[in-house]
Structure 1
Amino acid sequence: MDGDNETFASGFILLGFTARADLQVMCFILFLAIYVVTLVGNLGVIVLIRIDLCLHTPMYFFLSHLSLLDICYSSTIIPQSLRFFLVEKKVISFARCVTQLFSFATWATTECYVLAAMAYDRYVAICKPLLYPVVMSQRLCFGMLASAYLAAVISSTIHTVSVFHVPFCRSKVINHFFCDGPPLLALSCSNTHLSEVVVAAVVGFNVLNTTVFILVSYSLVLSAVLRIRSTDGRHKAFFTCASHLVSISLYYGSSLFMYLRPVSRHSLQWDKVVSMLYSVAVPMLNPFVCSLRNTDMKNAMSKARGRILTSLSICGPPLAERRGQPHHSERW
């Protein structure tokens, strides 16, 4: 336990995404660009849903929280990675490592349940359209969201305790770019079988449980869509659900691949690529895949852009006059 006490005092060393010094600046620019796009895209979705009254529906309520979660869990990882790309000593304290794993697990798990809630929303909207306003009440939506956060906190606590209760006396060097369960368990000098089982059980319960719920919901949706006689109606229903399914496939596929394998079968270099997919790439892609290809969102963006251009046009002539430029009043 002396090594474990030393780890607690001095923390861990993160190797980062690459050890090659010539790639550090390139990775910094790439991660920074991804983070900026993630923030702008997801904040844009949240603001757009907030200001457009036509988007104040259960579907977009969950979509705005999905964007918020994407911001939260990418912000748990990327800012630290950006700093580590620019410094030689990539040290993270024990407490910060625990906090990072717990926070990331909480946001990621909540996202699983929010995606499931969105699938249920689509099921009710397509299969029971007349009952939609009654079933998807504001009370139910808030209840589903609160349950998602509660389930995430409980499972993340179990996950984090299971990882950090083992002694880390083999090494302090984490071959990863953030504190994640599999690379941390690889540092233990004790038998980690119980921790592996607990982590796999917690992640498996959340991911497989919500996956089954989503598959059942969309199976019923598919059955209802195939009964639609109108080709346009069938195409619209498919298109509404397709973007959601793409986002689910990316997120769930990489998560299952990462967590539901024994540590002994992990390739830590390959795990970095998989981790980057679900922790960095998916939050960036979600606004485009799940939101901005939606017809209602496009209409809302067009209206918002129109209001902005109108405001600029109204403010433009006085400014032009103050600068001595001609004011063409006949345009108005």
Structure 2
Amino acid sequence: MSDQRWTEPTAEYPLECDHCHYPIPNEPVASEDGRYCSIACREAAADGATLPEPEAYKRVVTGVEPIDSLVPNGIPADSFLLLAGDEGTSRAELGIELVWRALERGEPAVVVSLANPPTATLERFYQNGWNVLPALENDRLRLIDCYTHRLDDRDGFSEQRTEWPTFIGEAAADAIVEVRDPSDRREVTHSLTGALDDLEMSETGLVTIDSLDELERIFQDRQVHDFVEEIRATVCKARFVPIIAAASTADEDSPESEYVFDGIIDLRLTDQRPSNTRRKQLAIRKLIGAQFLPQWISYDHEPARGLFASSPNAGTQQGYDLGNERSQPDRL
């Protein structure tokens, strides 16, 4: 989480409430045991209730260099973020790294696996040199398996696995939550919230969804939209646990639903001349509740290191125009 004090009292409001820890805009409410901004805070403190400092859980510094360089004070923890980018932009690697950085901080994480079986999802960590076995054994990582039950021959799939996938599948057995009917939105939601309860995820950790494209193929009509709205309310807003979902931007016929997301991170490939190379770039299109730098930043990816800013002055567009520089359509 962020170490920066984003609610620090100002010269205009120098006093801080002893219960909610926010600045006191008027005269403190009279009390013998502290200074309070309101009767509600004074009564809650008298009843023995305590609240943590807001910066302890309301902002997340992701640990991913290109993102943190654009959001210096951290991402609001009650955000539902969309990673919107085409193939080749390391979108999947970014989702995996966000989970790993949370585990590195000692926080729990939940991965909703739609595009791959859970053993393949776990293998993405190992391809980057990130060993998640300790997190699995310490009950800090859960995988919501929305893939396996879509297979016609599940037994055959298990029998055909080689030694390593078999080993990692057995080691992760207790951490995998199988969804028997991924087309049932309520079952997917119940599996997710059950995992959050088991890991006691409130004001800590994060959730990633590897593919809204796959979810759209499984669900029908407006179910993806309704699913996003529901877990945004019950997970992000109620628990202060951020959700990051990935989606391709290839299908331009999909209806736009930008408003349902608190933040959108665009990833794109650009042609560089005269070098005739393709450069990966990342930008924050929107992020409610936080300041961000309105520019494209070039990045690359390496195993173990993850995503990192590359040639910061090359291909960077200052003054990112949200109306004219939008390179991809919204997705849901």
TM over 0.5: same fold? no
Structure with greater proportional helix content: 1
Structure with greater proportional strand content: 2
| RCO higher in structure (CA 8 A, sep ≥6) | 1
Category of TM-score, reference length = shorter chain: under 0.3
